[in-house]
Structure 1
């Protein structure tokens, strides 16, 4: 597989709803590995398949905590509650940041790369990152949820 490249706004693929994954094979594993590598290279904490031009329900998240690398294939939010508002950015919108309100807790069902179903719970920043990536899979961008944008440098220090 060729090295993946980020897709940037206003590419319409970013606002297109993704199809569920039905084949769990080596091609899927290579996509997930490539997405994870690109996410780390770009200094991100999450990446969804449409951000590399693939319209499948696949996302990776790694916020650098005890959960490590999380692979989400066909993820569904089963439960959410609480509320948090905080800064978000997106690798497909370089240099753009804004406050977004999301649930503080989520319970998610997804498949791993082999098709095995798992359920996980997340709070705080991890819950935020997972919701952001799942939104991507439905063609929803964080810019649709921003309540306040930050000026250049406002988030630093």
Structure 2
């Protein structure tokens, strides 16, 4: 299936908590395929289902050559000292701000066969797991900004041609 268009800040689906996947059927298989196709575009580390307009708890990732997906992911471990890291988002084009993230993360979910899968990593992978899980919880990275950066981000968004 093809790469799907990314929903942009202001679309209510991005602020909606995604529903868990119950039955793995052809719709879910197609969603996973679309998410993987969408994340393989250069410069993308992750795509959550709500970013392509689907309110189900699934995301894909593409970090350091590791491409995959998780169905019904949950963060099960965060470790290390949280630090500010520059972060952007496909749903908030061209904006980068420092966000407090843990340097190591582990997420658990299932694959298309219903098998339990764990994905963990440091650096960009840890950041992607946290960022994409936030999406599925109806949060954007902007929600994690300090007051000053959030105010600046909202000003920049209002002045953006895409808004």
TM superposition score normalised by structure 1: 0.86
CA separation in 2, counterparts of 1:117 and 1:5?
Answer: 29
Could you tell me which residue of structure 2 aligns to residue 155 of structure 1? none
> Which has a greater percent of helix?
2
**Cα-to-partner distance string for 1:46-84 (whole Å, 9 max, x where unaligned):** 00000011000000011124xx11211101111212223
> 1: distance between equivalents of 2:134 and 2:30?
23
- Unaligned stretches of 5+ residues in structure 2: 157-163
SS at match of 1:55: coil
Q: How many correspondences in the alignment?
A: 149
Structure 1 residue 85: Cα displacement: 1.6
Q: Give the RMSD, CA atoms, in angstroms.
A: 2.0
Query: Is the 1:17–1:139 Cα contact (8 Å) retained in structure 2?
Result: yes
SS at match of 1:47: strand
Structure 1: how far apart are the matches of 2:3 and 2:120? 32
Superposed counterparts of 1:5-154, under 5 Å: 5-41=5-41, 43-65=43-65, 68-82=66-80, 83-147=82-146, 148=149
Output one character per residue of 1:15-62: Cα deviation in whole Å (capped at 9) or x when no partner. Answer: 000000011123212211112222233631100000011000000011
CA distance in 1, matches of 2:42, 2:56: 21
Q: Which moved more, 1:10-19 or 1:74-83?
A: 74-83
Q: Is the 8 Å Cα contact of residues 25 and 114 (structure 1) preserved in structure 2?
A: no
- Point out the more displaced range, 31-40 or 51-60: 31-40
Partner-residue secondary structure (3-state), 2:131: helix
Tell me, in whole angstroms, the C-alpha distance in 1 between the residues paired with 2:48 and 2:3: 15
Structure 1 distance, partners of 2:79, 2:7, is 31
CA separation in 1, counterparts of 2:45 and 2:136?
16
